Amino acid sequence: MSMNPIGRPTHTGTPATAGTGSSLLPDEPLLFEIGDTGHSGVDLPDVEIDDARLGEFRRKTPLNLAGLTEPEALRHYVRLSRRNYSIDSGMYPLGSCTMKHNPRLNEKIARLPGFADVHPLQPVSTVPGALELMQQLSHWLLTLTNMTAVALTPKAGAHGEMCGMMTIRAAHEAKGQGHRKLVLVPESAHGTNPATAAALGYAVKAIPARADGTVDVAAVKAALSPDVAAIMLTNPNTCGLFEKQIIEIAAAVHDVGAYFYCDGANFNAIMGVVRPGDLGVDAMHINLHKTFSTPHGGGGPGAGPVVLSAALAPFAPVPFVREGDKVLDLVEHVEGEHLGRITAFAGQMGMYVRALTYMLSHGGDGLAQAARDAVLNANYVKARLQDVFSLPFGTQACMHEALFDDHFLDGTGVSTLDFAKALIDEGYHPMTVYFPLVVHGAMLVEPTESEPKQTLDAFCDTMLDLAADAKAGNAERFTAAPLRAPRRRLDETRAARSPKLKWERETELPAAAE
Amino acid sequence: MRYLPHTEAERAEMLATIGVDDIAALFAAVPESARLKSPLDLPPHSPEYLVEAHMRALAAKNRAAGDGPFFVGAGAYRHHVPATVDHLIQRSEWLTAYTPYQPEVSQGTLQMLFEFQTQVAHLLGMDVANASMYDGSTATAEAVLMAKRLTRRNRIVLSSGLHPHYRDVVRTYVGDDPDLVMIPHSQAGTLPLNIDDQTAAIVVQTPDFYGSLRNIEELADLAHEAGALLIVVVTEIVALGLIEAPGALGADIVVAEGQSIGNALNFGGPYVGLMATHKEFVRQMPGRLCGETVDADGNRGFVLTLSTREQHIRREKATSNICTNSGLCALAFSIHMGLLGEEGFTKLARLNHARACALASALEKAPGVELITHTFFNEMTIRLPKPAAPVVEILAAKGILAGVPVSRLDPTHPDVANLLVLAATELTTDDDIAALVAGLTEALK
């Protein structure tokens, strides 16, 4: 049995002792169990105040906030952190999520006072560097995509989708086409696509995938009508495949007066190699956190700038940077039929800084090489596993992620979920499972360009060994997994049935199993 | 390129395993016409020291808040963040983890979110809080959509004191809906007239955009009598260390901007939106929720829960399209709040109010300046004898950032042209205030 020499804990658990923690990984109580209202890790002067300017609004409800001194706070959060898997501790092949290396230069730059300690409503005359940074980021994004304009402000990918679809809605309304109420979404799409369309009042029509995992231009044409506002298509798609008929699909969509929204979550696979503007795209969000590697931080913050075609550019939300005579200007109000404002200020400056730093470090050549290496790595994993793992769409080349289904586990008593949990015991974060929905028991592996060949080989060896073990009838190893993680499998049904969403003083802690 | 691990020899070896000659062959599915024939016109890769020099030059062109007297607030506030906070959030295990989809190896993030939800619920005085939103403005728009779902009504009444940017974001989210009623600031007393049996929610901010503390209880009664919900917005979360929790005054949904705690100004983002509500409304709440459960051995653990509300399960029937939120900003908030604790947070709030009182007293004595905010926490509005925007520019040229002219956010109302919103925090010194008053006096001569 091959093992991940870095990530695998030395302590070997058994069902009886696993999950209870080793001496180096003790359980950590809740902040509210170790802190109290009398301790504080911040020294502040005690000032006298009266009610003269407070009126009758003074707080009577207890705050009930637990405090810790600085050393205790450090220990609490350091101990907690050690119960997390992270890219820096090992390969994180979570398909569709793009867990690539997060350069530390980007963190250093984002903390310069000239970026971090700048207020969004300072006089515009005092922030020329911020405007220039936004302009430079826009230039890179537009060059990489061959599009006309970019709306930088969306706060995350899903927010970018909302912004892009609002732009499309505004464009239709301006043309007297506000009656269009239908949005086409392939079945393989991210859940955010139909959720976004529905949130904007559109009815969603699902487009089935072909046997080869891509969208059928004939199926799109059959669904198109004067009622269709847009198609939302992910490219490369969530099966890790390039939509090879994308140009014909775009043309058909434009023929009925609809727009082509491209979900750019997988732009990392083609940056510097293919430009969405050459494919007929009208709007596409770019997840700066995925493609240009701003840290995912346990679930954000992200940033989702949207690039727009000439048809949609006039409807971009405020604020945006405009080139004036000699200086850049921040446009905060526009007359006429534009989108409005989608967030209070100028978007995720902290993420803009990191993304531009990443772009400058890579250069145009490095970004294209990163895309090619991401595709190379995914195809290498696919090639090494394809004789054992089942490929839902044949042996065609994939883009940046390799998709498998669960047919290779037929009759073993091991599910995709069990297989994923067994990977945890081998020191890896599992791949994305059960997504996309169009594939049975999906396993979506995205190695990213950051992984060296040695790591990919170790990972593939582990995958193959696990598959052999499953086929050899050792199902219990999988169904009991994970045994070497800080916790064994968690009861999600119980969590949802009687939700306990905050600490309560009267809560009885569950007795330890020992 | 320092981040890319392969040598050419390794690439060749991998291509041989795949069975193709070059990487270009892997892009065979890309239509011929769309393949780039030459490299893009972008600079080549660059060493770390050159990239750093480029970025430092950009940063140096901006005037940092800490470079001199600073009174800008209006939805984002300059506070001191303890060194411990930024040190901890840069630990690899926090910084480079993903959304906790695999709970067994994400207990750090999940327990932190459970603690964060507890802190937020206590602060806002509500039953349950979610695991964060993008920021206060989008949280407000999501709260409006949530209220429409809960009441199955369409009319939304926005009070005059709501931050103009928040008002604009709500308007963008709900579209050009005739049922969106915005009460102009000059008609503050007309609010009750717009509440009827079609009203889903009243949205009120306290302290409001101008800094005034608002009587929420009165509005809660008005809303509830009409079967509507009260949404309370807080843009300066430190205020809740001193003023009453919205939940205790009848709020049904409370949303807030949490940037003040743990997070830098960052020219507007990333920030952290807070959202809390009643227990019975939780299934209509947007965003991630973390819940307590047990593992197979009966040990306490945490998971993301009630995900049947969310887009990745419910697709077009989801309560919102939110996926990624503000995890790391929520962590910074939670650590800072854990360091403060009740004692520190209360002291911080009192200190902010004391500094604001000092600012108000000084402004009241400045010739030509009229303080129009009578009850406030750390922010106030003054009326000048002439338009505020040019005055702010004159002071900025002298290194004093005097505040936010209301006209910048609300250019269509000429009657607000002379209004200036100023904030003080624990970082505001007596010297800063003296410099401001001297500058104002000079500019108004």
Residue type, A169: R
With respect to residue A490, please indicate whether it lies within any of the assigned structural domains. Answer: no
Identify which of A92, A192, A342 has the shortest CB distance to residue B169.
A342
pLDDT one-digit tens code per residue, B20-51: 999 999 999 999 999 999 999 999 999 999 99
Of B60, B268, B292, the CB nearest to A500: B292
Does B49 reach chain A within 8 Å, measured CB to CB? no
B340–A421 CB contact, under 8 Å: no
CB atoms within 10 A of CB A35: 25
Distance from CA of B229 to the nearest CA of A (A): 21
CB-based contact A346 B324, cutoff 8 Å: no
Residue A171 lies in a domain: yes
Task: List chain B domain ranges.
Answer: 65-81+342-444, 84-337
Chain A residue numbers touching B66 (CB-CB < 8 A) = 113, 117
> What's residue A505's pLDDT?
80
Q: ipTM value of the model?
A: 0.97
**pLDDT at residue A502 greater than cutoff 80:** yes
Calpha distance B269→B265 (Å, rounded): 7
Sign of CA dihedral A311, A314, A320, A325: positive
Q: Is B33 exposed, middle or buried (0-12, 13-18, 19+ CB in 10 A)?
A: exposed
Q: Touching check for B417 and chain A: CB below 8 Å? A: no
Helix B164-174 and helix B136-151, axial crossing angle in degrees, nearest 10: 50
Residues in A closer than 8 angstroms to B387, CB to CB, are none
Distance, in Å, from the CA atom of A366 to the CA atom of A356, rounded to the nearest integer, reads 13
Per the CB < 8 Å rule, is A503 touching B354? no
Contact (CB<8Å) A496/B305: yes
| Range A16-29 burial, b when 16+ CB lie within 10 A, else e | eebbbbeeeeebbe
Q: How far is CA B405 from the centre of its chain?
A: 20
Q: How many CA atoms lie within 13 A of B60 on its CB side?
A: 6
Residues of B in contact with A116 (CB under 8 A): 264-266
Residue A373 within any structural domain of the chain: no
A-chain residue closest to B293, CA distance: A495
Average pLDDT of span A373-382 = 98
**pLDDT value of residue A419:** 98
* Residue A323: CATH number of its domain: 3.40.640.10
Domain of residue A227, residue span: 108-358
Q: Is B325 exposed, middle or buried (0-12, 13-18, 19+ CB in 10 A)?
A: buried
Tokens linked to A258: 């609809």
**Does the pLDDT of residue A5 top 50, yes or no?**
no
Does residue B252 sit at the A interface (CB-CB below 8 Å)?
no
- Cβ within 8 Å, pair B347-A45: yes
What does pTM read for this prediction?
Answer: 0.96
Q: Residue B268 has what pLDDT?
A: 97
Token couple for B141: 């728009």
Contact B99 A39 (CB under 8 A): no
Mutant choice from B23, B42, B272 vs A, greatest count of A C-beta within 10 A: B42
Residue B147's φ and ψ, nearest 5 degrees, are: -65, -35
What percentage of chain B reaches a pLDDT higher than 90?
A: 88
Is B407 in CB contact (< 8 Å) with chain A? no
CA distances from A128 to A32, B1, B59, B61 (A): 45, 31, 9, 6
Residue A362 to residue B1, Cβ atoms within 8 A: yes
Q: Residue B119 is nearest to which of A42, A65, A97, comparing CB atoms?
A: A65
Q: Which amino acid does the sequence have at B18?
A: I
Give A327-352 pLDDT, tens digit per residue: 899 999 988 777 899 999 999 999 99
Residue type, A85: Y
Residues in chain A within 8 Å Cβ distance of B345: 63, 65
- The shortest C-alpha distance from A309 to chain B (Å) reads 16
Q: How many angstroms separate the CA of residue A493 from the nearest CA in chain B?
A: 9
Contact A366 B52 (CB under 8 A): no
Q: Which of A44, A349, A380 sits opposite B348 (nearest CB)?
A: A44
| B107/A486 touch (CB, cutoff 8 Å), yes or no | yes
Partner-chain contact B311 A487, CB within 8 Å: no
- Is residue A316 in some structural domain? yes
Contact A363 B44 (CB under 8 A): yes
By C-alpha distance, the chain A residue nearest B20 is A397
Size of interface A-B (CB pairs under 8 A): 729
Rounded to an integer, the average pLDDT of B121-143 is 98
If you average pLDDT over every residue of chain A, what do you get? 93
H-type helices in B152-246, by residue range? Answer: 164-174, 216-225
Longest alpha-carbon distance in chain B: 82
Nearest CA in chain B to A451: B5
Per-residue model confidence as pLDDT tens digits over A81-128: 999 999 999 999 999 999 999 999 999 999 999 999 999 999 999 999
Domains of chain A: total? 1
User: Residue B284, Cβ neighbours under 10 Å: how many?
Assistant: 17
Coil, helix or strand at residue B135: coil
* In the predicted structure, residue A6 carries a pLDDT above the cut 60: no
CB contact at 8 A, B256 and B271 = no
What does the pLDDT look like over B401-419, one tens digit per residue?
Answer: 999 999 999 988 888 999 9
Nearest of B161, B281, B168 to residue B233 by alpha carbon: B161
Q: Is A446 within 8 Å of A96 (Cβ atoms)?
A: yes
Contact A351 B270 (CB under 8 A): yes
User: In whole angstroms, what is the distance from residue A240 CA to residue A306 CA?
Assistant: 22
| Across B340-360, average pLDDT | 98
Q: Which two tokens stand for residue B131?
A: 């695991």
User: Where residue B202 falls among pLDDT bands split at 50, 70, 90?
Assistant: very high
**CA geometry: angle A254, A260, A265, nearest 5 deg:** 160
**Model confidence at B11, in pLDDT bands (50, 70, 90)?**
very high
Largest CA distance in chain A: 78
Angstrom distance (rounded) from CA A478 to CA B408: 61
C-alpha to C-alpha distance for A388 and A69, rounded to whole angstroms: 54
**Best of A76, A118, A136 to mutate (most B CBs within 10 Å, chain B):** A118
Q: What is the pLDDT of residues A156-194, one digit of tens each?
A: 999 999 999 999 999 999 999 999 999 999 988 999 999
Indicate the residue of B58, B173, B392 with minimum beta-carbon distance to A133: B58
What pLDDT band is residue B191 in, cutting at 50, 70 and 90? low
Fold that domain B65-81+342-444 belongs to in CATH = Aspartate Aminotransferase, domain 1 (3.90.1150)
- B221 in reach of chain A (CB within 8 A): no
Phi, psi of A299 (to 5 degrees): 120, 50
* pLDDT tens-place string over residues B136-187: 999 999 999 999 999 999 999 998 899 999 999 999 998 766 567 766 544 4
Residue B279 to residue B295: CA distance in whole angstroms: 25
Report d(CA A210, CA A75) in Å as an integer. Answer: 53
Give the whole-angstrom CA distance, residue B162 versus residue B173.
Answer: 16
Taking each helix axis from N to C end, the angle separating A128-145 and B48-60, rounded to the nearest 10 degrees, works out to 130
Mean pLDDT of chain B: 94
Pick B212 or B178 by higher pLDDT: B212
How far CA A163 is from CA of A106, A195, A301, A318, in Å, comes to 26, 13, 17, 11
| B178 and chain A in contact, CB less than 8 A | no
Kind plus residue range of the DSSP H or E element containing A287: none
Please state the rounded mean pLDDT for residues A441-445. 98
Domain B84-337 is found in CATH 3.40.350.10 = no
Tell me if A237 sits within 8 A of A186, measured CB to CB: yes
Pair B240, B234: CB distance under 8 Å: yes
* Separation of alpha carbons A323 and A337, rounded Å: 21
What is the structure's pLDDT at A23?
A: 61
C-alpha–C-alpha distance, residues B298 and B304, integer Å: 18
* Most A CBs within 10 Å, among B27, B54, B134, to test the A interface: B134
To the nearest whole Å, the CA of A207 is away from the closest chain B CA by: 14
Say yes or no for a CB contact (<8 Å) between A118 and B166. Answer: no
Cα-based angle B119, B120, B124 (whole degrees, multiple of 5): 120
What is the band of A1 on the pLDDT scale with cuts at 50, 70, 90? very low
Residue bearing tokens 């989702």: A304
Of A58, A140, A332, the CB nearest to B243: A58
CB-nearest partner of B323 from A38, A192, A424: A192
Sign of CA dihedral B287, A235, B95, A137: negative
